[in-house]
Amino acid sequence: MNFEEAKQRIDYLRKTLEYNSKLYYEKDSPEISDYEYDALFRELGDLEAAFPELDSPVSITKRVGGKALDKFEKFTHNVRMGSLTDVFSEEELFDFLDKTNAALSRDAEYSVEPKIDGLSVSLTYENGAFVRGATRGDGIVGEDVTENLKTVKSIPLKLSEKLPYLTVRGEVYMPRAVFEELNASREEEGLALFANPRNAAAGSLRQLDPKIAASRRLEIFVFNLQEGSLYSDGRACKTHSESLDRLDELGFTTLPYREVLSGKDRIIEKVRALGEARPELSFDMDGAVIKLNDLSERVKVGEGTSTPKWATAFKYPPEEKRTELLSISIQVGRTGVLTPIANLSPVRLAGTTVSRATLHNGSFIKEKDIRVGDTVVVRKAGEIIPEIVESIKSERSIDSEIFEMPKVCPSCGSPVIRDTAGDGTAIRCVNSGCPAQNARSIVHFASKGAMNIEGMGPSVVELLLSNGKIKDAADLYSLKKEDVEGLDRMGAKSAENLISAIDASKERGLERLLFALGVRQVGEVAAEEIAARMQTLDAVMEASFEDFASIPDIGEITAKAIVEFFEDEKIRSLVERLRAYGLNFNAAKEKKSTVFEGMTFVLTGTLPTMTRDEASELIKERGGKVSGSVSKKTSIVLAGEEAGSKLTKAKDLGIKIIDEAEFLKMLDN
């Protein structure tokens, strides 16, 4: 790889990692698996080492974890909560052991432990009493979540001995059984499901109400002494295992299944055994940690720039299981797209039972030659969405049949067409009165990014449709408490909450309503752009193709789709009924000025006195646009502390860079 290729790849990796790091650490909503993230992180580190002139002190490889959220007080750790280097193969693990043993001139002892997939926290005790708990954050500054941690029953509020001062590190997690109960309950209530136990634990620990955190039944495994003496006489522990045994005596729940071993063969055998045991454990683990047991030897081996040289984490690849493909059903989406779904013989995978997986489209099935009755390999994409990796052709029945996508819609019987937009793989039902499309349109209308009607999930929508209480989205606003109360799983309180949520949604404003209506090609960002330009739904409905095409980032395909959408008499009738029910057809916020008209901002880093969301709102209110990535179209980059690759790219492109103080001056002017 030459210099220019390396530069482009490093820029891409930094941008991708920053984006996914924010999703993982701050939004608790990952899109890729830990394994994929770690592989990208590792590749970036290798490239920075190979091309030191492209390295940067603000690269994500120099930081740990995510930023502390603004809703909790910040807490500065006395001892940095660092991370470990990762290895992805037994050969790489052997290499780590060889180098470490060589540095010590002997076959050292290592503590081999499960790597719990949860949220890392520090716990501080004074005179034997729990006084503070904080998340890892960026390793130096975290969030003070003391009150929520007090609800974790496995955290002792008083130690068995009154030690003057002690800080330990642990991993808060949600047991798999609790996770499944929680998601089953949320599904009944029509709430969004948590992606996995780790995200459920992180979201629970960040609740502002400790009662909610308490209801989530979180647990903790403590795995390290951060600072302080474990003995009243001040005597120091000589080994890591001794410190954990002592923490056990003091009342902590320490890591299970840990073992002190020497010899590469015994260590790799233990790592394999932990990996094989993963499906049967009551908690999620995504790797094994291997670290020197003797604390004096750790000092001798030393620390790297951001990670210790005396420890590593062996990361297990995404779990894959074999199961039988029982049938293929067709799901009709809100825009009429037909998606094939694999119905599987239930299999336990990555902590949950999987019985369905997406097959994407007919081209995917044909390319992988997947047939009903096949033995298939299934895994979770990003450890969240089940997908089929391959079918085992050697185990296929001789009378198996090639799957063909239907020629008519399975919901309404109307003919389907191949959609020529995009890559041409989508098959679509064009009947706007299709029942399946209608149900999914109502679910979308009520979803969080749209009208945000809490409690109006897929099961509740189906319940209302099947009982004849609604026919379309506008009917939601005709519902009364007595219409809902008494339906299956709907009591008086649930009905009251649902009606209140529906009433509250009337004030969401034009941005949300445009997205909720489900115009093809119009996502949340495009809806904001249109609302900012048009200001009212009436103006949107009367606008021409040229009007829409003149809006930045609204292309000709989208402009055509919007015009055609509002020409439909059914849509116009729906809009008039929504008007009669009193929905807000105006843009949520009028521009305070046009000082930023035509300008595109990119925000990066931590600002001194405001959040990036607050700064974004100020920009939009004054006619500006906020983008998530730096390009030649970017007008200004607003940079705070720890600005990352966006700042570097802005400098390379010669884009104007300002700080918060200059930004505030621009607002004043």
441 in the Ramachandran plot: left (φ > 0), alpha (ψ -120 to 50) or beta? Answer: alpha
Contact 221, 256 (CB under 8 A): yes
Catalytic residues, by residue number, are 115
Residues 6+ apart with CB under 8 A from 304: 85
CA nearest to 637, candidates 620, 650, 653, 624: 650
Tell me the C-alpha distance between 130 and 158, whole Å. 6
Q: Locate 480 and state its tokens.
A: 């009364």
Q: Provide the residue type at 558 as one letter.
A: T
3-state secondary structure at position 411:
coil
Widest distance between CA atoms in the chain:
83
Contact 13, 61 (CB under 8 A): no
DSSP, residue by residue, 279-317: GGSSS-EEEEEEEESBHHHHHHH-B-SSSBTTEEEEEPP
132 has which bridge partners?
124
Residue carrying structure tokens 């015009």: 563
H or E element in which residue 73 lies: none
DSSP, residue by residue, 174-212: --HHHHHHHHHHHHHTTPPPPSSHHHHHHHHHT-SSHHH
Q: Provide the residue type at 423 as one letter.
A: D
Cβ neighbours, 10 Å, residue 163: 18
Residue carrying structure tokens 């260590």: 267
| Edge-to-edge strand ranges of the sheet holding 86-87 | 86-87, 311-315, 285-292, 109-116, 259-262
Tell me the C-alpha distance between 484 and 496, whole Å. 9
Indicate the Cα dihedral angle 552, 557, 561, 564, nearest 10°: 110
Beta pairing, strands 311-315 & 86-87: parallel
